[in-house]
Amino acid sequence: MRTEGKDRLGEVLFAAFLVAVGAGAVLYTGSWPVKAALYPRVVGSALVLASLACCVLAALDRGEKRAAPVELELGSDLPAPVVRARTLESLGWIGGFLVAGWLVGLIPAMVLLVLAYLRWVGRESWWFTGMFTVGTWAVLEGFMVRLLHLPIPTGVLASLAAR
Partner 1 sequence: MVEAVLDGLLRVLQPDALLYMLLGVFIGFWVGILPGIGGVTTLALMLPFVYGMEPVQAFAFLLGMHSVVATTGDLTSILFGIPGEGLSAALVLDGHAMAKKGEAGRALGANLMSSLVGALVGAAALALAIPVVRPLVLSFGSPELFMLTVMGIAFIASLSGRGARGLARGAAAGALGLLLSAVGQDPQAGILRYTFGQLYLWGGIDLVPAVVGFFAIPEILDLMVRRSSIAASGPTGKLVGVWEGVKDCFRHLGLTLRCSVIGAFIGIMPGLGGGVAQWMSYGHAVQSAKTAEERERFGKGDVRGVLGPGAANNSKEGGALIPTVAFGVPGSSAMAVLLGGFFLTGLVPGPDMLTKHLPVTYSMVWTLALANVVTVALCFPLLPYLARLTTIRATRLAPFLLLLVFVGAYTANNSWGDIVVALLFGALGYAMLRFRWPRAPLVLGLVLGDLAERYLWISVARYGWDWLGRPGVVVLAGLTLAVLVYPFLQEWRERRATQLLHREVAHAD
CA pair distance 112, 124, nearest whole angstrom: 15
Residue type, 65: K
* Closest to partner 1 by CB, 149 or 163: 149
> Cβ 107 to partner 1, closest distance in Å?
9
Dihedral class, residue 14 (left if φ above 0, else alpha if ψ from -120 to 50, else beta): alpha
* Closest to partner 1 by CB, 74 or 161: 74
Q: Which of 51, 100, 105, 108 binds partner 1 (CB under 8 A)?
A: 51
Does residue number 102 form part of the binding site for partner 1 (CB under 8 A)? Answer: yes
Q: How many residues bind partner 1 (CB under 8 A)?
A: 76
Compute how many other C-beta atoms are within 10 angstroms of the C-beta atom of residue 129. 19
- 33 three-state secondary structure: coil
Q: Which of 2, 27, 87, 131 binds partner 1 (CB under 8 A)?
A: 87
Does residue number 138 form part of the binding site for partner 1 (CB under 8 A)? Answer: no
Does residue number 100 form part of the binding site for partner 1 (CB under 8 A)? Answer: no
Running DSSP on this structure, what letter comes out for residue 141?
I
